[in-house]
Structure 1
Amino acid sequence: MVEEKKVVKETKHYTDSEFRELIEEVCDHGAVHAMLYFDAQGQDEKQIQDALVSFMDSLNKEKGILFSKAMIDEVVEHEGVHTTFAECEIIVKDMPALNFIMLKYTPVGIQILHPTKEIRISQEQAHALLLTSGEYASALANLVIRNNLKEDQLHILEEQEKRRMDFARKLIDKSKKS
């Protein structure tokens, strides 16, 4: 019989000064501390709030997120349209992780809080950052193209996409080996 192990998650509570020191330390090792700003609008107040909570929960689960805390503003109604904003304080492991978050979640604004002077990234991180950006730009362009293609032309585009992705994977593997 296999014994089940009980996992206990410990939570450490930090004072503000301890938390700021922790931020400085992780940012000295490549992490980035930022504030992201999101907006939401729609016809139903509760749906907007629920959607933002779900959205923030999804963001919090992304690979590379070390810490996140979100605050959702009060919903304001104007001429039948409900609007709100959310601020999400995050610490991500590195710039490629922040780039991924920016591309996937498209905040309306960002403020990098730490490091305060300069951000250094390795060549491997620069490759990852640029390839991720290119992948998202390509996906967006292909979405626009797909919406304007006839069915018989789609298969040609799919073959081109497959070759492009295979080539990108080879580049990533090559950059990791060097």
Structure 2
Amino acid sequence: MLYIVLLLVLAALGLLVPALTTSQHVWAWLSVGASGAAAFVLVLDWWLRRRSTDDQPAAPTAVRTTAVGATTPDLDHQASPDDQDKQDQGGTDTPISPDQGIEPPEEDTDAADLLIVTDLTTEVHVLDERPRYHLTTCTWLASRTTLALPIDEARQLGFTPCATCHPDNTLAEAHRTSARP
């Protein structure tokens, strides 16, 4: 579609030259028409791309277990009837494998936990070309080769916490526990 827009813009410029060199207004109107057609094709392309992303199915809702043990829905996704059945039966979602090409959602880190985590140097694990950092015990990692980084460095590099293993919540809670007498 963008090639069509480029051709229409070039045609408009080509028609503008005779409109400026001659006294005939028809060339100017043809140039305006080609420019309008290019604008229409751009809007049509935008609308089609927007519509195709709206038609994609949403990911199922993940159930997150907090440190207290209560389960709360992960509000980043829409719920399906199967997810509700799993939640009613006390089950959890099957872990998402990195081989599926689907990233786990980002952990919603509490502000108090974030203040603690930014000063820690505890090692977390990252996968090359993936945006999340994980605990060693994360089920999403499976048997993939990981790179260990201090959590403060991982955050500085732009990695975000995994919602499957909750590294920020877990490490902040461990730090609070070890700081108590």
* Larger relative contact order, structure 1 or 2 (CA cutoff 8 Å, min sep 6): 1
Which structure features the higher share of strand residues? 1
TM exceeding 0.5: no
Q: Indicate the TM-score class for this superposition, using the shorter chain for normalisation.
A: under 0.3
TM-score, normalisation: structure 1: 0.24
TM-score, normalisation: structure 2: 0.24
Larger Rg: 2
